[in-house]
Amino acid sequence: MSTIQFGGVISGLNTQSIIDALVAAEKQPLTDLQTKEASLTSEKTAYGQLGSAIDSVVTQLKNFTVTSAGSSRAATSSDSSVLTASAGASATVASYQISVQNLATATRATSTGALGAAVTGNVDTSQTLANANLATPITAGTMTLTVDGTAVQVTVGDPTTTTLQSVIDDLSSALQTQLQTTDSGSTVSASIVNGQLQLAISGNSAAHTIGFGDPSDTSNLATAFGLGTQGVANVQNATVDGTAYLDPTLQSLNLPGSVTAGQISAIVDGVIVHYTVGDPTKTTLDQVMAGFGQAIQNQLQAGGSNVSADPSATATFSVVGNKLQLSIAGGAVAHSLSFSASGDSSNALGMLGIANSSATNAANPTITGATNLGVARMVSTIDTSDIPGVTSTSTGVLTINGVAISYDTTKDSLSDVITRINNAGAGVVASVDRTNDEIELTAQSTGASAIDIVDTSGNLGAALKLAPGTTNAQVVGRNAQLTVDGRSIISASNTVTNAIDSVSLSLVGQSPLGETETLSVGVDTNAVQTALSSFISAFNSLGDTLDNLTANTPGTVGGTAGSAGPLADDPTALTMFLSLRNTVMQAVGGGNTNSLSALGVSTGTVGSAVGTTNRLQLDTNKLAAALTNDPNGASSLLDSATGPLGQLLAQLQGYEDPSNTQAYIQSSTTSLTDQITSVQSREATEQEMIDNYTSMIEAQFTAMETTLATLQSQSAQIAAELGESTSSSSSSSSSSSGLSSTSTSSS
């Protein structure tokens, strides 16, 4: 750090200018080193630019040779709607006559029937509790029945073996038996009215109090029948109506989706007819069919906007073959019907499969929905998916093409199983046909191979109607069949690689009867031209880079100074492009196609102006002619092993190769890096010496100023002291003179 300077305040000298001049003289060696470092850095940068230009040429050469552009073949089909093709480098230049008789197809396994239980619309009391599709499934256990204060237990057995009718009979029998203990003429009959249980008591001689259910019950029978709040107090010959629906509600049916409440519509002879679907948890399918059918019938009988009244016409909805069906009967005229209006707010028409069904000007038409009503539930557990006959198991295994797919019917849904199949790598794609309520397994590869389906444990494959162990549910795929120049070829795939050497055929369609397609295999002129043009562009760019880096412009007398590029004195850089160009244009072997000039590569036409023939050019017409007339010779010439491009690549890698420290660019760059490091080290030493010198002379000038200041202060003090002495002497003289005058006067 420099000492404090006083800037010649005392001496009156411009000490800072003197110091700067002295330091500047000492800095000359450092300045020389910095100039040298800048020159070395510029040269190193130039080698980096040259290396990048060489790398660009190397990249184009590698792309050219690695992709075998010089030997590329193009395959052209006369009818791409039948087949397309690609050809390898070793494909023979020729034409072929091809006919495609069959395309290869994939094997498909499809359920042999709908999976879900068919919807009937009303409860079947002969079914077990598990299969009756009740709005509220009834559980096993006991329910308490109380008659005039006496509790009686009604037992519900295993839902998988106990029928709904037996439960109803047991309930009505228990009630009748208890009533007869005090009222012997009492009888009880049970029936389902409008989807709800009704208990009718008759023959009473007295009034009775009856209640259903108790907190201690282990079965939900009272709730499922809707009897929990329907007891009677002191009533003779009572009728008890359950509040719960036994007939499946729209919500509990295994329809393709959840039905929403709201308006649905039909267009009857040009008139829009509305019907409102109630709460899906309380409305049954029978109620919708009866109400909607009645609304349509009323309009038929009243007459439409373009049809006269038809008072004898009836309209009845029913479920036939698991599909909703509307039957018009008794009509005297033809009618037109369709469904839905833009103001509809319920999706019931879509869920019931009749949204797109219609009849036009038909006498007593029957309109059938397009989709099954009862379908397998995709997101419920398999046990509750309404797939009849499935065995409940927590350790089921479905094996497809030797790949095991595990499932648990108590936890997994059908959707889970389908996802597992698709992720298992079993060679098939599983999907669901919701229209027909079927499972489809489609082989991922084509050919005449069956899908091997096995129920290793459990019976899910059988329940899905895929006929495990057989091909009864399968349409086995077929192999592709074609002829090539009269030879018959069979292939399991539509990509055929064994028909023509080094040619891959992609079959797209069948040949028209009696016709053949022509496949032409030739040199891929576009690929060669593109690769060769890219190489020439990179090669010429390398020449431009070398010209810039080695340029040497002389100065003019009395004018501008000369200039030189950073590599102007490098003999290798000065001769590099000429050497490379000679390698490119050299002749290799015999014959007419023995140099790149035969392929249209030149340095310009004969007679071109001087200075215009130092770059490569490509005559694309000459190239195309050479590739057509001598494709094998052209391929050999452009091959890295037999032509000049391989030699050029080796020569360039001798100049620039990151893996070789002895390569021209790498060794030059390393040498320059070492020189720059050495110069920078010397610069640091010089800078330290200059800093020390600067501190020394600043300290010397500061000391001089300090000394001068001290001397000046001492001088002032001496002068002051001398001044006081002189003043004192003057006073003494004045006093003596006065005394003398007085004395004289007295005398």
pLDDT digits (tens, 9 = 90+) for 563-582: 888 999 999 999 999 999 99
646 pLDDT band, cuts 50/70/90, is confident
Tell me how far apart the terminal alpha carbons of the chain are, to the nearest angstrom. 82
Residue 2 in this model has a pLDDT that exceeds 50: no
738 pLDDT band, cuts 50/70/90, is very low
- The one-letter code for the residue type at 477 is G
Average of per-residue pLDDT across 141-161: 95
CA 129 to chain centroid, in Å, comes to 47
Question: According to the model, what pLDDT value does residue 609 have?
Answer: 59
CA gap 395, 571 in Å, rounded: 82
Cα dihedral 116, 120, 122, 127, rounded to 10, equals -60
* H or E element that contains 441: strand 438-446
Residue 427 in this model has a pLDDT that exceeds 80: yes
* H or E element that contains 415: helix 414-423
Question: According to the model, what pLDDT value does residue 80 have?
Answer: 95
pTM of this prediction exceeds 0.75 = no
Question: According to the model, what pLDDT value does residue 414 have?
Answer: 95
Which residues on adjacent β-strands are paired with residue 454?
399
What are the structural domains of the chain?
Answer: 1-72+525-551+565-714 (no CATH), 73-100+481-523 (no CATH), 141-245 (no CATH), 262-368 (no CATH), 387-475 (3.30.70)
Please report how many Cα atoms fall inside a 13 Å half-sphere around the Cα of residue 710, on the Cβ side: 6
